[in-house]
Amino acid sequence: RGTASDTALTGYHDDSMTSGSGSGLPLLIQRTLAKQISLAECIGKGRYGEVWRGIWHGENVAVKIFFSREEASWTRETEIYSTVLLRHENILGYIGSDMTSHNSCTQLWLVTHYHAHGSLYDYLNLVTLSHAAMLTLAISAMNGIVHLHTEIFGTQGKPAIAHRDIKSKNILVKSNGTCAIADFGLAVTHTQSTGLTQIAPNTRVGTKRYMSPELLDETLDTKCFEALRRVDMYAVGLVLWELGRRVISNGIVEEYQPPFYDRVGSDPSFEEMRKIVCIDQQRPVLPNRWASDPILNGMGKVMRECWHQNANARLPALRVKKTLIKLATSSNMENIIY
């Protein structure tokens, strides 16, 4: 279908060039990337824009096309993917960004590796899981989050990064059954030496269903980067719950449901979420059958320690990852991949 070959491309070598639409971002981006890609099929649509499967040098790639009003999100995501040392098996692989003009309309492209299974949300709707498959997904996702959250020191170091929109739709499933964290449009970085948190973290961002109590009651200390990691860990707890439900044990499995499916409708308001999460302090129910399954029982304990009302009591990502690895090894699954 559509190709980008008819698009005018903005300058790569001209340092004075900016996007022209307000960001002031120097275009240190590959000027020919979009030209080389032909779009094959639309695989996602939203308020932000669209995601397409495209072909680049004979290989599948994913092309996220942002509406021009979403330029800030494109800029942010491009910046985050350009962070030194971000490359990791469990972080969506970045190919490049491009800004092109199509019939005098700005098009913002972000090109990444393509994963045919789509998001964890799509995947869990389709399949049920063995214990090993679930732990592979969970441990690999935690691997990605640990890498994000951890600052690496040194001249070629990596800042700590808080994702701020962790949910099953923002985690992709790779063909080997492991996860890659995606969608960095809201991410913020932090460097300890400068104490600097890049981008003033406006509080009311993210997906309402996955918002932590401190976001919902607006008590989050936005100056504290650690607080943002804890917001991510709350959402991690909910994603682990989505995973646990799809594990078959003794022939039983729960259908896929998003967190709080039994308390709110499909598009809950901030107020609705605040009522159930902060005031009533409700959390997803752990199905009875989990208690008699050592792995699901252990997972349930981890979830509770992730979605704790008190953010300071939540487990850090590395602790969750280690606990899940322990669950795997204690059930003789030490050779699962993640």
- Which residues does the annotation place in the binding site? 64
Verify binding: residue 305, ligand ADP, rule CB under 6 A.
no
Q: Calculate ∠ Cα 128-131-135, nearest 5°.
A: 105
Q: How far is the CB of 250 from ligand ADP (least distance, A)?
A: 32
- Tell me if 209 contacts ligand ADP by CB under 6 A: no
Please say whether the beta carbons of 163 and 232 come within 8 A: yes
* Residue 51: contacted member of Mg ion, ligand ADP, none (CB under 5 to 8 Å, by partner type): ligand ADP
Complex with ligand ADP: residue 183 or 293, whichever CB lies closer: 183
Which residue, 165 or 293, has its beta carbon nearer to Mg ion?
Answer: 165
Task: Cite the beta strand spans of 179-322 per DSSP E.
Answer: 179-181, 188-191, 196-197
CA–CA distance, 256 with 293 (Å, rounded to integer): 19
**Taking CB under 6 A as the criterion, which residues in 105-134 touch ligand ADP?**
112-115, 118-119, 122
DSSP state of 22: S
Binding residues for ligand ADP restricted to 35-64, rule: CB under 6 A:
43-44, 46, 48, 51, 62, 64
182 lies in the site for ligand ADP, by CB under 6 A: yes
Active site residue 262: no
Nearer to ligand ADP by Cβ, of 114 and 290: the residue is 114
Least distance to Mg ion, CB of residue 168, Å: 10
Annotated binding site for ATP: 64
CB neighbour burial string for 121-136, b if at least 16 within 10 angstroms, e if fewer: bbbbbeeebebbbbbb
Which residue's CB is nearer to ligand ADP, number 112 or number 323?
Answer: 112
Element (H, E) at 42: strand 37-45
Asked if 128 and 55 count as a contact pair (C-beta separation under 8 A), the reply is no
CA atoms within 13 A on the CB side of 98: 23
Q: In what order do the strands lie in the sheet with 196-197?
A: 160-162, 188-191, 196-197
Write out the residues near ligand ADP by the rule CB under 6 A.
Answer: 43-44, 46, 48, 51, 62, 64, 92, 112-115, 118-119, 122, 169-170, 172, 182-183, 185
State the catalytic residues.
165
